[in-house]
């Protein structure tokens, strides 16, 4: 039955509603029930997605594709959200908006999956809104001046991007006479190139906002710095999973008469270069991770640029998304386990105070660089290969140079963390060597993430076999 094919999405939606209702009727000291509801919904969605992974590709209700890319996206989104909840247990427990936060995380996850699985422009617009609105609220839940500023900037850019996306959808519908991707593939083939280009650029612009790519990336570093740690981890990971899979589905049906590989290749080069150069000057750990995630979008755009030229593009994108998600969340889990760390120098002496946390930080940052045998190394290897096979050898050279540049700012964080010197004193600190608040859940999430980073890197054969042959349904 068609509805059963959407069991993961139904679980996420039901979990969000139940978590919200539970939070409305339970006293504040028992809001942890909403956390259990969210975890149960995510586990149900994950099990249902895993069981459906080997099924033949099909389209549900004529607009929602259930194929291998959708299945892997479901699993990555569910695992990422579980890790976000794990690293945020101590931060969120007892807060006034605890249950609402879990509901927003589930709705944001649902929006990312809908974006990734859509086969119709109208559903794409719904997925965009479903994944955007929870994002604004999550950024603003910090209830600080910085969080309010970040939420306002994210909302304004999101509103602009939403207008661009809807205008693009309207133009493409006008040219093709259909909103379904199958209709776009045939209807746009003989359409005038200029309006098709305008419509496609509008839709891709909206999706670039979700992914955090140039030129609609300005919200990312501010939101990463202003939001709570759990919210920052979520917004730099989950939305871009759905947006990039949605982009590769759309580019795959655009007419080949226009130079999409060159345009997307230039966007990829600009995004990774700008993100890396901006990260070089950062002294705040969260802001550095914000610019780092911008640069990572550049690498993720490489397989999108060559989707029509090589069969390796889709498996490469899925591999990189899985590796990036677990790596980025591990870095945020380390920050969640040591909440007094704001500047890079605040990590000084971490290896002496918390050797397990320091090991997780080393693994995550070396993975973000692309050092073997980590998850992002496997991802970079696959996207470089796909871009080379797709005829964008120049982009591979640019990406390799950017990888070397990125090593500089990740080392600026690793050096003080591995130093034997103590943490610098701040105003109001009576003891600069005082242990941070006990946060076993956040430290456990960091350890779990670090194991995941190595498991994906060392299990390259299994990962490659899982995504091998992944085609767009």
Q: What is the DSSP string of 182-200?
A: HHHHHHTTTS-HHHHHHHH
Q: Which single residue is written with the structure tokens 């700008």?
A: 274
The answer to whether the CB of 321 falls within 8 A of the CB of 432 is: no
pLDDT at 10: 96
pLDDT at 1: 57
pLDDT at 5: 87
Asked if the peptide bond before residue 373 counts as cis, ω within 30 degrees of 0, the response is: yes
DSSP sequence for 112-140 = HHHHHHB-BHHHHHHHHHHHHHHHHHHHH
66 three-state secondary structure = strand
| Tokens at 267, concatenated | 């966007």
Buried b (16+ CB within 10 A) or exposed e, 55-69: eeeebbeebbbbbbb
Q: Which single residue is written with the structure tokens 């719904």?
A: 126
How many residues are recorded in the chain?
A: 473
pLDDT at 431: 47
402 three-state secondary structure = helix
Closest C-alpha to 210, from 308, 138, 297, 94: 297
> Which residue(s) pair with 60 in the sheet?
64
Ramachandran angles phi, psi of 296, nearest 5°: -65, -30
Domain boundaries, the chain: 259-423+440-472
pLDDT at 426: 62
Element (H, E) at 428: none
User: What is the C-alpha separation between 386 and 403, in angstroms, rounded?
Assistant: 17
> Which residue(s) pair with 66 in the sheet?
58
Asked if the peptide bond before residue 354 counts as cis, ω within 30 degrees of 0, the response is: no
Return per-residue pLDDT of the chain as tens, 473 residues: 566 789 999 999 999 999 999 988 888 788 889 999 999 999 999 999 999 988 888 999 888 999 999 999 999 999 999 999 999 999 999 888 899 999 999 999 999 999 999 999 999 999 999 999 999 999 998 778 889 999 999 999 999 999 999 999 999 999 999 999 999 999 998 889 999 999 999 999 999 999 999 999 999 999 999 999 999 999 999 999 999 999 999 999 999 888 999 999 999 999 999 999 999 999 999 999 999 999 999 999 999 999 989 999 999 999 999 999 999 999 999 999 988 888 999 999 999 989 999 999 999 999 999 999 999 999 999 999 999 999 999 999 999 999 999 999 999 999 999 987 777 766 555 445 555 567 999 999 999 999 999 999 999 888 888 888 777 76
pLDDT at 437: 62
The answer to whether the CB of 209 falls within 8 A of the CB of 216 is: yes
- Residues 95-130 have pLDDT tens digits of 888 999 999 999 999 999 999 999 999 999 999 999
275 three-state secondary structure = helix
């Amino acid at each position: 039955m068609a509805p059963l094919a959407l069991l993961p999405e139904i679980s996420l939606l039901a979990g969000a509603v139940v978590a919200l209702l539970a939070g409305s009727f339970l006293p504040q000291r028992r809001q942890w029930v909403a956390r259990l509801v969210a975890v149960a919904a995510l586990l149900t969605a994950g099990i249902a997605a895993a069981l459906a992974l080997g099924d033949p590709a099909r389209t549900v209700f004529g607009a929602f594709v259930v194929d291998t890319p959708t299945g892997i996206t479901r699993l990555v989104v569910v695992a990422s959200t579980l890790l976000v909840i794990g690293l945020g247990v101590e931060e969120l427990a007892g807060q006034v908006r605890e249950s609402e936060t879990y509901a927003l995380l589930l709705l944001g996850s649902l929006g990312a999956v809908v974006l990734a699985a859509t086969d119709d422009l109208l559903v794409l617009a719904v997925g965009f809104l479903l994944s955007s609105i929870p994002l604004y609220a999550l950024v603003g839940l910090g209830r600080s001046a910085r969080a309010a500023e970040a939420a306002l900037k994210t909302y304004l850019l999101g509103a602009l991007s939403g207008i661009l996306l809807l205008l693009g959808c309207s133009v493409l519908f006008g040219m093709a006479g259909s909103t379904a991707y199958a209709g776009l593939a045939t209807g746009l083939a003989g359409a005038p190139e200029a309006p098709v280009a305008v419509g496609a650029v509008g839709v891709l612009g909206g999706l670039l906002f979700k992914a955090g790519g140039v030129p609609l990336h300005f919200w990312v570093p501010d939101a990463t710095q202003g939001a709570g740690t759990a919210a920052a981890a979520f917004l730099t990971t989950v939305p871009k999973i759905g947006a990039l899979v949605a982009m590769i589905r759309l580019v795959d049906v655009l007419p080949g008469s226009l130079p999409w590989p060159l345009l997307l290749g230039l966007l990829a080069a600009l995004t990774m270069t700008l993100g890396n150069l901006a990260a070089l000057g950062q002294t705040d750990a969260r802001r550095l991770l914000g610019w780092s995630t911008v640069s990572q979008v550049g690498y993720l755009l490489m397989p999108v640029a060559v989707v029509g030229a090589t069969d390796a593009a889709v498996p490469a994108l899925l591999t990189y998304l899985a590796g990036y998600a677990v790596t980025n969340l591990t870095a945020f889990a380390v920050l969640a386990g040591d909440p007094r760390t704001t500047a890079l120098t605040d990590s000084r002496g971490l290896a002496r105070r918390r050797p397990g946390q320091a090991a997780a930080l080393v693994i995550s940052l070396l993975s973000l660089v692309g050092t073997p045998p980590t998850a992002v190394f496997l991802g970079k290897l696959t996207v470089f290969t796909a871009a080379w096979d797709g005829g964008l050898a120049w982009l591979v050279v640019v990406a390799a140079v950017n990888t070397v540049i990125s090593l500089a700012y990740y080392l600026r964080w690793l050096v003080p963390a591995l130093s034997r010197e103590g943490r610098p004193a701040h105003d109001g600190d009576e003891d600069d060597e005082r242990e941070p608040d006990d946060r076993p859940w956040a430290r456990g999430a960091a350890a779990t993430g670090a194991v995941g980073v190595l498991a994906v890197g060392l299990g390259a054969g299994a990962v490659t076999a899982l995504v091998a042959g992944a085609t767009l349904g």
